[in-house]
Amino acid sequence: MQSTEAMLAFYRALGLQIRETPNAIAVYVGDQMINFHRPTLWQDAKFTLRAPAAKPPCGDLCFVWDGTPASLKAMLDRAGVKMVEGPVDRQGGRRRTGSSVYVRDPDGNLLEFMIYS
């Protein structure tokens, strides 16, 4: 994470629950959790539970959106988040085609919201 404040504001604006610890921020998405390591952790050579050369922005995350395309657009608009691409048809984690919308978080990580019909 380059800016803790920017990341917290971004994910809170999306309406997600957040838990902060001294070394990380956990963002809860449904039953899933994303850990963002603070610079004090990812710059520590003793910390090895990460990709060997991981430096922001290195994330590419996909979330299933249970709402409609209109409700996704409304949520992104309320949060002030600009779409990078989409909606476009993509193969998803459910091994079928869905409609994807892509955005970036403050560190530049790519976030995909997949809507299955």
Could you give the number of structural domains in the chain? 1
Question: Counting beta carbons within 10 angstroms of the beta carbon of residue 31, is it exposed (0 to 12), middle (13 to 18) or buried (19 or more)?
Answer: exposed
- Mean pLDDT value of segment 21-35: 86
**Residues annotated as part of the active site:** 112
CATH number of the domain where residue 36 is located? 3.10.180.10
Do the beta carbons of residue 85 and residue 102 sit within 8 Å?
A: yes
What per-residue confidence (pLDDT) applies to 52?
A: 66
Q: What is the pLDDT of residues 73-85, one digit of tens each?
A: 999 999 999 999 9
Euclidean distance between the first and the last CA atom of the chain, given in angstroms as a whole number? 34
- Mean pLDDT value of segment 50-68: 78
Helix (H, G, I), strand (E, B) or coil at 72: helix
Q: Which domain holds residue 61?
A: 4-115
Instruction: Examine the pLDDT at 95 and tell me if it is beyond 90.
Output: no
Instruction: Examine the pLDDT at 96 and tell me if it is beyond 80.
Output: yes
Predicted TM-score (pTM) of this structure? 0.78
